[in-house]
Amino acid sequence: MSGKIVKVISEEYVAKYVELNEQAKRIKEEMDKIKQVFHTYFDELCGMNEKGEFNIGDYFLQRQIRITNAFDEERLVEKLEALKLGDCIEYVKKPNEQKLEAAIQLGLISEEDIKEYRLSKRTQAISVKKAK
């Protein structure tokens, strides 16, 4: 690690991070309250879950409604099976982790045999809290 980076991180630097993080939380809370007022206004003006827009002074305020469609997969599969439309059903194959672990314990497969198929994801995160 570079000595330059270590010198930049001081107590004041960490304190500044904590202060900005607290400000960000307060700002987000306030913005959420304001957005709720806007949604209430649009609900009254345009109707629940309806898009709308208006100008106020130099500002243009707009509400968009995004719709995501999906199926109730379990019930739809039952219906398709009842209609004998099995060709419309995909059967997703995936390993059963509990059975796989049992097979390893029973010696039916070794950890070495599946090592290359294990995936690890690493995510960096920083957490700083104010000392009491």
**pLDDT per position as a tens digit, 31-50:** 999 999 999 999 999 998 88
| Cα 59 from Cα 54, distance rounded (Å) | 8
Please compute the mean of the pLDDT values over residues 1-21 and round it to a whole number: 79
pLDDT greater than 70 at residue 72: yes
Structural domain boundaries in the chain: 1-69, 70-117
**Percentage of the residues of the chain whose pLDDT score is greater than 90:** 30
Q: How many CB atoms lie within 10 A of CB 38?
A: 13
Instruction: Give the C-alpha separation, 46 to 82, whole Å.
Output: 42
- Separation between Cα atoms, residue 89 and residue 77, nearest integer Å: 7
Closest CA to 129 of 17, 13, 7: 17
